[in-house]
Structure 1
Amino acid sequence: MSDFESGTDLEFSTLLYRERDGVAWVTLNRPERHNAFDLVMAEEIHRLWKTLRHRDSVRCVVLTGSGDKAFCTGIDRDTVVPQPSSPYMVDDPGVALGPKTADLWKPVVAAVNGMACGGAFYLLGECEFLIAAEHATFFDPHVTYGMVMAYEAVHLAQRMPHGELARLALLGTAERMTARRAYEIGFVSEVVPDNTALTAAAEQAARTIAACEPSAIEGTVRAVWAAREMSKAHAMATAPHLVQLGNIAPERQADLFATRAKGGDWRAR
């Protein structure tokens, strides 16, 4: 991705940022730690999501990790997180990692380029869809090391069948879900042979999204998440407002229909 134009005004110590043709490429950049996040990365990711809310040049985001071994392996075990003295309050730097938590409603496509485990699910749980390289794997180490898998389970319960989540959670480090199995259960939407193909597939999807009207895309993202998180009645009541906010003017719709009526080129998946 070195040919991408650099976002010189968006510089980070733990992330790589590139932007081109309406697509922002965000790369977790701690490969020596398998892209595990520390307090600095957690702060930088959250700040980036907040910044992209105001960056109209970005219409879609691709999120990936450096190297070919890991997308993200959760929190860096050397990170010390100070905790309140009260047992009723917990500071967890992972809870602010997701784009939706930061109120970013531009679509985020995850390009999973290796291991994804533990706190990685804070990120993957709030992406629109996942594309994975064949060698990518998914697992959660919490129970192996005497910890409760809680926040991650909440995210994953919305994206995979109960039995698959329970198996992933309870077998800990003893078993990893392959990219193919993740595809079979609907957690991953596409599996590609390697990281080169992963970049190409993510770019094709992201550029297609970025070519559409931003208000329609963002309204659709809100509708999809409303359908997932609200009751059906509540989501249906929200739908007319999203349509009113996000639809472009009828004459502009007619122009797009005239130029795109045949749909253009398409690919089967």
Structure 2
Amino acid sequence: MSLRTHIEDGVATVTLDRPERLNAIDLETAAALRELWRGYRFREDVRAVVLTGAGERAFSTGIDRSAEVPQPVSPYVIDDPLLDIGPKTQDLWVPVIGAVNGMACGGAFYLLGECDFLVADEEASFFDPHTTYGMVSAYEAMILAQRLPYGEAARLALMGTAERVSARRAYETGLVSELTPPGQAVEAALRAARTLASYPPAGVQGTVRALWAGRQAARDQAFAQAPALIGLGNLPAEEQAKLFTGRDQGFHLR
């Protein structure tokens, strides 16, 4: 299985378990995450969740590049297999704490963006490779813009593979709420999760829902723009050349 789960004392530990692929998310893993979150909605013994990645090298490196995702013929939609893999998109309102070890990049932000807070060890790092490869970082950049000051989000999203944000910097800018020695992020996240699981669940889940409501409207409006931005970025090279030189319109943007 691409996921490992363990439930104890009201806390579910969910581990992305593809260390040989740096915990990249293939279509099977994406489907398993959707099913898992929806299943937890019906379990009274799950009152908090810790989400992490197996091994020491990566929390997750996002979409598995070998995944084949057929796209609709309409230019107005993009089928993104990671868009609904997070707990909030599956209507799960128990608190989720991300425990980050190693790299977290690209599509990993779909999951991190739906964690209520993050714990990271000192060797963790964060980056977004899209622009390096000529791709638009749309959903990831929008998620980062809600979790970080604008300049920090912009630098992370724009610099691609040229820079990695250290765990220390992520902590200083608010992306990460607790920094731990190497290898101790999961245990620190479990301590917090056990505390949350010991509280009356109605109050905790209601607070999670209230926090999410405070950002959901802006997120939904931003996400509505993402397919068009991604679609423009995926145009063939010759079409992109026309777009950025204005050859067909008689003007030049460069």
Q: Do they fold alike, i.e. is TM over 0.5?
A: yes
**Structure 1 residue aligned with 2:230:** none
**Structure 1 residue aligned with 2:146:** 158
Measure the CA separation in 1 of the matches of 2:192 and 2:147: 20
SS of equivalent residue, structure 2 residue 83:
helix
Q: CA deviation at 1:171?
A: 0.7
Could you tell me which of 215, 220, 244 is aligned with 1:228?
215
Q: CA deviation at 1:97?
A: 1.2
Q: CA deviation at 1:156?
A: 1.2
Could you tell me which of 194, 207, 211 is aligned with 1:207?
194
CA-atom RMSD, angstroms? Answer: 1.0
**Structure 1 residue aligned with 2:62:** 74
Could you tell me which of 12, 33, 37 is aligned with 1:49?
37
**Structure 1 residue aligned with 2:19:** 31
**Which AA in structure 2 matches 1:115?**
M
**Structure 1 residue aligned with 2:9:** 21
**Structure 2 residue aligned with 1:132:** 120
TM-score for both structures, normalised by structure 1 = 0.80
Measure the CA separation in 2 of the matches of 1:153 and 1:186: 16
**Which AA in structure 1 matches 2:211?**
V
**Structure 2 residue aligned with 1:193:** 181
Instruction: Give structure 2 stretches of 5+ with no counterpart.
Output: 219-254
Q: CA deviation at 1:126?
A: 0.6
Measure the CA separation in 2 of the matches of 1:37 and 1:45: 10
Aligned residues: 218
TM-score for both structures, normalised by structure 2 = 0.84
* Displaced runs of 4 or more, over 2 A: 227-231
**Structure 2 residue aligned with 1:262:** none
SS of equivalent residue, structure 1 residue 212:
coil
Q: Are the counterparts in 1 of residues 52 and 186 from structure 2 also a CA contact under 8 Å?
A: no
CA deviations over 1:91-142 (Å, ceiling 9, x no partner): 1101011110111001000000110000000000010000001000000000
The answer to whether the aligner puts 1:217 opposite 2:180 as a matched pair is no
**Which AA in structure 2 matches 1:188?**
V
SS of equivalent residue, structure 1 residue 202:
helix
Higher RCO (CA-CA < 8 Å; seq separation 6+)? 2
The answer to whether the aligner puts 1:174 opposite 2:162 as a matched pair is yes
Measure the CA separation in 1 of the matches of 2:99 and 2:176: 10
Instruction: Give structure 1 stretches of 5+ with no counterpart.
Output: 1-12, 232-269
